[in-house]
Amino acid sequence: MKQDVSVDKAIKRGHLTINVPVILCLIGCPALAVFLSKKDIIPSWMIAIAIILGLGLGWLIWSILITKWRIWAFEHVRNVHELKKRAIEEKLIWADGHVFEKTEIRSKKDQLKLDALDYKFREDDIYEEDPSVPSVTKIYYSKKHSIFILLFGIVTVIISFALLFDDSIKSYIIGSFLLATGGSLAFMSIKKTFNNSVQITIDNNGIQLVSEPKISWFEIYEDAITYEGMGKSSTAHLTFYDADDRFFKISLEDLKIKPARLEVILRTYRIRHSKNNT
């Protein structure tokens, strides 16, 4: 069986072939109803029905197409464990046993194909080191992200002053809350904007955090990129345990590194460390 499709390509194909038709249904049905209503072809109350119809049709399309994608992706991608993990993280599929996962529509033929692919999940994923990863990776705070939060905090403070000078008690309470929120955001972002120290250092020997001594790869286990939250609002973290069972959880939101790239970096240093110690 041919296995020449990367995880990234499979995920991109999933978003294109599944999410695009679903979004078209969600937007297209109400938009068409609004257009027909403006032309007096249908009554305006049918717009609400069109919204419900769009949701139902979108879910039906997802339920059918996601099964087709699963079969194709698991057939053509070697590292199915990584593929499934990424697909769940990017909200392309639901975790096993989730109530929405049970809404996938699978014919008997589809289920037989998926069952036949179960053997791939009994094999470990195979990885090769990425030659583009340098001997040492140093990760800093993201200046762009810090400046964006700083500007947001400043705007919030300006709005709070406008409310504080209002005679309404309600406006004063809201203004005080916005002042505290905006001020704290601005203060924290200023500290990060001018903080040029390395937050995470990773190399063939291990991981060093800004406030910790270097931890050897021999002492690190269950290192992974994990996500909290839903959709685009989810936050990525670098998580791992050390030999003393201490749990480390570092948010990547403020750092100048993409989660997918950090996963590649971690794997590459693991491989290099293994080669150097065999």
Report DSSP state, residue 255: B
Ranked by mean pLDDT, which of 24-33, 120-129, 168-177 comes out on top? Answer: 24-33
**Residues 187 and 202 grouped into a single domain:** no
Q: What mean pLDDT do residues 54-66 have?
A: 94
Q: Quick one: pLDDT band at residue 233, thresholds 50, 70, 90?
A: low
110 and 158 share a domain? no
pTM (2 d.p.): 0.66
Amino acid letter, 237? H
Q: What is the pLDDT of residues 187-225, one digit of tens each?
A: 888 888 888 899 999 999 999 998 889 999 999 998 888
The single-letter code of the amino acid at 59 is W
Take residue 96 and report the two structure tokens written for it.
Answer: 């096993």
* One domain for residues 247 and 181: no
**Does residue 215 share a domain with residue 179?**
no
Return the closest-CA partner of residue 223 out of 203, 204, 199, 207: 207
Range of 28's domain? 7-122
pLDDT band at 138 (very low <50, low <70, confident <90, very high): very high
Give the count of beta carbons closer than 10 Å to the beta carbon of residue 168. 10
Name residue 96's amino acid: D
Report the alpha-carbon distance of residue 202 to residue 265 in Å, rounded.
8
Same domain, 94 and 167: no
Same domain, 25 and 83: yes
